[in-house]
Structure 1
Amino acid sequence: MNSLRCPNCSSPVFLETLDCPTCTASIGFHAPTRGFFLVGAEGSEIEIDGSVWVACSNRFWKCNWLADTSQPSGACRACRLTRRQPSNDDTLALERLADTAVDKRRLLVQLNDLGLPVVPFYEREGGLAFDLVSSRSGEPVTIGHANGVITIDLAESLDDYRETLRVKLGEVYRTVLGHFRHEVGHYFQNILVDTDERWAECRRLFGDERTSYSDAIARHYRYGAPATWRESFISDYATMHPWEDFAETFAHYLHITGTVATAAGSGLILHADRVGFTGVGDIVARFSYADRTIEELLADWHWLSLMFNRVNRSMGLGDFYPFDLTEPVITKLSFVHALVTDARG
């Protein structure tokens, strides 16, 4: 798939773009076709494939999606998935909501690209919902997932707050999008692991999720991860409980496939004769690996992530992807890959 482009001047734009930086045209994102359309004056309608769309009622708060007028709300599908948010008079928290919702929409686009089922909470009990609330507004907020509801602390959109926690907790990676991808992993474990056979395989790889979660938390924060955790886990946090191991692995599957898809959309090819690696041909990033094995995906990712790491280092930054994919981790990723591709099928 090609990179996203302005419908007026064809300049490349980002997924969250409201106004084209080249021609200043106001544009809106149409999720079903993954494309942009011109947005006219407030309330103006856009006909797309026989349906009528308008700018989301939250466009003032940075939402650039289009809303289907056949729905009972002026909000787009992404905004309707938010179950709780700050009150209208909490403008500081609403500014953080606007920033956080960008990552929520990016997550939803990727889930759609992967063909994963997203049933909203207002259509089914246990359906997907987001509580986006701020610990800076006077209530305690714990990032997590419960019965389809993903809770995110809007304070995480503040760089200084998030970085302080990252250092304090000894994490090499902490982003708002990372939180969304991790928590949606909990949601999809209950959706995609849907047979006795799959649960048996899941428990063989990740452990028995029926063990006490509260005991696991207490043990993890008292003793930390085992010294040998890197041999079998993608992260320190994944060692805490089988639920967290699955969610961390699922999040990394989204990290990898999302980044490779972006590279593919940008036309990135690593030419073997220029890069200097041997034993493989050119690395051509693919938008989808649904018909490919996890080994093929990770073979491409190996070289692409090395390139991205070099780019980061050339800017004086830490590695873009500072994680090791050991054989046990690859086996877990293979399980997730099978779940995702089966869901698409």
Structure 2
Amino acid sequence: MKLFKCTHCGQLLFFENGFCERCKYPLGFVSQQLQLLPLEVAGPDTFRIYNQGPFLYRYCANHQYGVCNWLVADGSQTPYCKACTLNRTIPNLSKAEYLQRWRVIEVAKHRLVYTLRRMKLPLVSKTTDPDKGLSFDFLADENPGHSPRILTGHSRGLITINIAEADDIEREMARRAMDEPYRTVLGHFRHEVGHYYWDQLIDHSDHLTACRELFGDERQNYAEALKQHYRKGPARGWNQHFISAYASAHPWEDWAETWAHYMHILDTLETAYDFGLSVHPRIIEERTILSSEVKIDPYDPENFEMLISLWLPLCFAMNSLNRSMGHSDLYPFVIPPLVMQKLSFIHRVCYEARVV
């Protein structure tokens, strides 16, 4: 995620901020500009962007719940922003704990949409395009702790998220039960949207044959492959071919897991770029593979090798910092050569799919 600055007073801002801590101006995210900007009140529920002319905006309708700070042009046919128009179902807000969980989920979803916009990928709601659009259902178990449970997953452009994932304790219990080194709400979104973009960018495309050569043939029985994975676990030596154990379950899961890691890399590098970070270990006299200066916007290069050369030293430094605080590695994964090829393939597909 990039850094934002209040154009009224210069204060640094977080993506989720609703007002500037220094000048107290209300803030709104303008999706067309991908900028968080200070606002001036223009009338009842309408605003102008500070120092940007007469155009009027309103907050997204979900702003009233404290889950969205994005703007909608005054006079828009929809009361929802570009991110919230993707919602098909939200939790029952009469339950206070559901509202809190929804807030956590919306923070992650808005960050997902920001990254997809930075990647310049096609992104429309199912309300606009029922066949190729994307939508979200955020659901709660009817009888928590008992079957049947709401399963997080993707089906034909509809991503379902069990809102229990927004609870730190519930998510940690699931992480331990599934023996996962990493599990976050944002990670779920990135994984599931990977399934969506497999349908959009790979299926019935010129990339399908090359994708099968790298990730395997997705026509093998998906349900049976998952049963075998959960019954027997990953095959010995899986970490030489896959980014995670779950990626080894089926080619679709390999694609989605690798896609999620590709998004992890892009977003983290953008943060490093905006902070002007560089990594040059003092213990090493000459610059080596563990040295890098993040001087390029990671969404610009066509060459993936350039990105990974920046990522690996940064990853080593991040993990070292986490260990200094007594935490486990921030990025607890090793990227073997075959996974590098898969990441490079995803980068190439995304680069070619850019919407100008």
- The TM-score normalised by the length of structure 1 is 0.93
- Structure 1's 176 and 243: CA in aligned 2 closer, same or farther, altered over 3 A? same
Whether 1:18 aligns to 2:28 is no
Distance 1:314 1:61 in 2: 38
Whether 1:214 aligns to 2:237 is no
- Among 133, 146, 157, the residue aligned to 2:155: 146
Deviation at 1:125, TM superposition (A): 1.6
Distance 1:2 1:88 in 2: 31
Question: Unaligned regions of 5+ residues in structure 1, if any?
Answer: none
Query: Which whole-Å deviations, capped at 9, do the CAs of 1:76-101 have from their partners, x for residues lacking one?
Result: 12111100112342332122111210
Distance 1:111 1:31 in 2: 12
Question: Unaligned regions of 5+ residues in structure 2, if any?
Answer: none
Deviation at 1:71, TM superposition (A): 2.5
> Could you tell me which residue of structure 2 aligns to residue 135 of structure 1?
141
Identity percentage over the alignment?
Answer: 37
Deviation at 1:37, TM superposition (A): 2.3
- Counting helix residues as a fraction of each chain, which structure ranks higher? 1
Deviation at 1:189, TM superposition (A): 0.7
Deviation at 1:8, TM superposition (A): 2.9
> Could you tell me which residue of structure 1 aligns to residue 48 of structure 2?
46
Whether 1:269 aligns to 2:271 is no
Partner-residue secondary structure (3-state), 1:107: helix
Supply the AA of the counterpart residue of 1:226: A
Does the aligned pair in 2 maintain the 1:45–1:53 contact within 8 Å?
Answer: yes
**Equivalent runs, 1:194-209 vs 2, <5 Å:** 195-209=204-218
Query: Which whole-Å deviations, capped at 9, do the CAs of 1:118-147 have from their partners, x for residues lacking one?
Result: 011111123010111122676731100011
- Structure 1's 6 and 243: CA in aligned 2 closer, same or farther, altered over 3 A? same
Supply the AA of the counterpart residue of 1:240: A
Whether 1:108 aligns to 2:113 is yes
- Among 78, 81, 94, the residue aligned to 2:99: 94
The farther-off stretch of 119-128 and 86-95 is: 86-95
Partner-residue secondary structure (3-state), 1:197: coil
The farther-off stretch of 104-113 and 117-126 is: 117-126
**Equivalent runs, 1:180-259 vs 2, <5 Å:** 180-193=189-202, 195-259=204-268
Deviation at 1:277, TM superposition (A): 5.4
Distance 1:105 1:225 in 2: 33
> Could you tell me which residue of structure 2 aligns to residue 123 of structure 1?
128
Does the aligned pair in 1 maintain the 2:25–2:40 contact within 8 Å?
Answer: no
Distance 2:283 2:118 in 1: 31
Query: Which whole-Å deviations, capped at 9, do the CAs of 1:282-319 have from their partners, x for residues lacking one?
Result: 42242224434221111110101011111111111111
Does the aligned pair in 2 maintain the 1:133–1:151 contact within 8 Å?
Answer: yes
Does the aligned pair in 1 maintain the 2:302–2:351 contact within 8 Å?
Answer: no
Does the aligned pair in 2 maintain the 1:229–1:239 contact within 8 Å?
Answer: yes
Does the aligned pair in 2 maintain the 1:129–1:150 contact within 8 Å?
Answer: yes
Aligned residue pairs, count: 345
Distance 1:69 1:275 in 2: 57
- Structure 1's 46 and 295: CA in aligned 2 closer, same or farther, altered over 3 A? same
Deviation at 1:272, TM superposition (A): 6.6
**Equivalent runs, 1:296-307 vs 2, <5 Å:** 296-307=306-317
Does the aligned pair in 2 maintain the 1:82–1:129 contact within 8 Å?
Answer: yes
Does the aligned pair in 1 maintain the 2:16–2:107 contact within 8 Å?
Answer: yes
Q: CA RMSD in A?
A: 2.2
Distance 2:97 2:135 in 1: 23
Supply the AA of the counterpart residue of 1:116: L
- The TM-score normalised by the length of structure 2 is 0.90
